Amino acid sequence: MRIRGKEIWWAIVAGCLTSLSWPPVGLWLALFLGPAAHLVLVSQSANASDRQHRFMLHLVFLLSAWILPFHWVALHPIPITALTSVLALLAYAMLFAATLAVLPRWLQRIGVGGSLLPMILAWSLFDWLLGQTPFAMPWLRLGMAAAPSDWSLFWVRVVGPIGLTFLALSSVGVIESIRRKTRFKWVFLAVFLAMSLGPSAQSIWISSSRSTDLTINDENTPDELKLVLVQPGWSPEEWANIADPTRLERLESLLIDTPRDSDALLLPETSLPPLTSEEAQAAVKHLSNRAGLPVIAGAILIDSNAQASNAVISSESTYLKRHLVPFAEYVPFSSTIPFFSVFSVPAGGVAAYVPGDAMELFQVGNATAGVLICFESLFLRDGRTYARNGADLLIVQTQDGWWRSGAPRSQHVSFTQLLAAASGLPVAQVSVDGTSALIDAQGHIVLEHSEGGPVLETGRLPLSNVATPYRAMGDWIFCLSFVALAGWSIVSNSSLLKSYNA
């Protein structure tokens, strides 16, 4: 295999351009240029038929695209965690590159024509799998990079997170049609420009939703909630010291000036030390009495088998984290292959958590809340499920301060804005020393407090409830588009082949 240096450099340039689209840089228009330029480069490569050649070009592109937005994975204060995080990111890049190198050729064999369409379909399929497998890591989805632009907040309501990737890659068709000077170039360009008018159409769509049944108003639901977000501001080392005997006392000391007329007080992920369910309930009731209002706290619950769960607990409800972070909170397949457990690392003082399986609803004043922990907020389908199950808002409890960088904090709250827009529900996000925020149902930030603390941030969260197309259809819009485009290509190429043979 021989790869020309010029092709490598173009892959690096395309990757670096793509990297600028992710928060915190946020030049989201680069999302339409970098990936498209790379796919055109691969399709026009002199060794495009060589699988290893394609793999190397894709790998170089992905590493260049991810090194800027995800450099923070190497900045964890625990060296073994930083190392495993870097290796995991490299593994994702290699798996992604292998998929883009192999799957398009298979699609071509079954009749999906051209060199670019199979790569677009393969890329979209891999993005979908990033949220479905035991190694789920939706943080890496291409479409998420556009957050929190008006374009992404509009289109995520319609097509969901995978649809964002699909739309971002549509620029490939425009570039290729112009490059080839095809007769359809103006059609592609017109469709692309219409898609890009999402931000303008957004205001019209929201305005019209106020006068239609797109906005759901339950007469028993209040117009807003007054919430207290407690951001302790502890360092990662302090927060990881879950055996600290003064932990509860230090949390209690933060509640001195709590506004008593609020609906609830929210504490971040793993606030309570390792406790049994009964002990944790007692601790929450104690903090509630101290604050003078209901408390919803992150906790570490220990069951009768001495296994730990990452949890959220109130005086009435308990939620156990369902989507655990691969290699940080658990090692995939370690339950069936015990040897894999040697790769586990202590995340927040616990080497491995046991996942939950139920999506519990919490009572917050006269409203009902769905709860997500940390990177679960990137699984937008869970926000959709909560909305369909009757939730009036979502609560995200997190600790982004493990990573000594502002990038993950900025990215996380941006992705939570997509969660709000896609589900049509307002969101309250509370963090230890990262970014805490109140976000309305359109995905716009109502109140935000960046790193620093300790602080009690009090704000009012409007409880508008928008019935988005994504809430109604989920990923079916993407799946139908995927199948329709592949089917159209197969039928078209079959017809062309018959005409050629005739």
CB-based contacts of 443: which residues, under 8 Å, 6+ apart?
148, 153, 156, 417, 418, 420, 421
- The DSSP output letter for 353 is B
- Secondary structure class of 472 (helix, strand, coil): helix
CB 405 within 8 A of CB 394: no
Name the H helices within 308-454. Answer: 380-388, 407-423
With 0-12 CB in 10 A as exposed, 13-18 as middle and 19+ as buried, what is 183?
exposed
**Which residues are registered as beta bridge partners of 225?**
461
Could you tell me which of 246, 355, 227 has the C-alpha nearest to residue 296?
Answer: 227
Type of residue at 55: F
pLDDT in tens, the chain (502 residues): 455 678 899 999 999 999 999 988 989 989 999 999 999 889 888 676 788 889 999 999 999 999 999 999 888 777 777 887 888 899 999 999 999 999 998 888 887 777 788 898 899 989 988 888 777 889 999 999 999 998 999 999 988 999 899 888 888 877 766 766 666 666 667 766 767 765 555 555 554 444 333 455 566 667 899 999 999 988 888 888 888 889 999 999 989 888 888 999 999 999 999 999 999 999 999 999 999 999 999 999 999 888 899 999 999 999 999 998 877 777 766 666 665 666 666 666 676 788 899 999 999 999 999 999 999 999 999 999 999 999 999 999 998 877 777 888 889 999 999 999 999 999 999 999 878 999 999 999 999 987 666 788 899 999 988 889 999 998 887 788 778 878 877 877 665 444 444 4
Give pLDDT, residue 403: 72
Q: Which two structure tokens, joined as six digits, stand for 152?
A: 């992404």
Give pLDDT, residue 352: 79
Give pLDDT, residue 496: 45
62: left (phi over 0), alpha (psi -120 to 50) or beta: alpha
What is the CATH code for 226-467? 3.60.110.10
CB 268 within 8 A of CB 431: yes
Type of residue at 92: Y
DSSP result, 130-142: TTTSTT--GGG-G
Give backbone dihedrals phi and psi of 308, rounded to 5 degrees, phi first: -100, 145
The 3-state secondary structure of 143-178, one letter per residue: HHHHCCCHHHHHHHHHHHHHHHHHHHCCHHHHHHHH
CB 316 within 8 A of CB 288: no
Residues in the chain: 502
CB-based contacts of 250: which residues, under 8 Å, 6+ apart?
232, 244
CB 265 within 8 A of CB 300: no
CB 312 within 8 A of CB 299: yes
Beta strands in 175-313 (DSSP E): 224-231, 264-266, 274-275, 295-302, 308-313
User: Is the CA virtual torsion 346, 348, 349, 352 positive or negative?
Assistant: negative
Give pLDDT, residue 207: 45
Beta strands in 247-366 (DSSP E): 264-266, 274-275, 295-302, 308-313, 318-320, 361-364
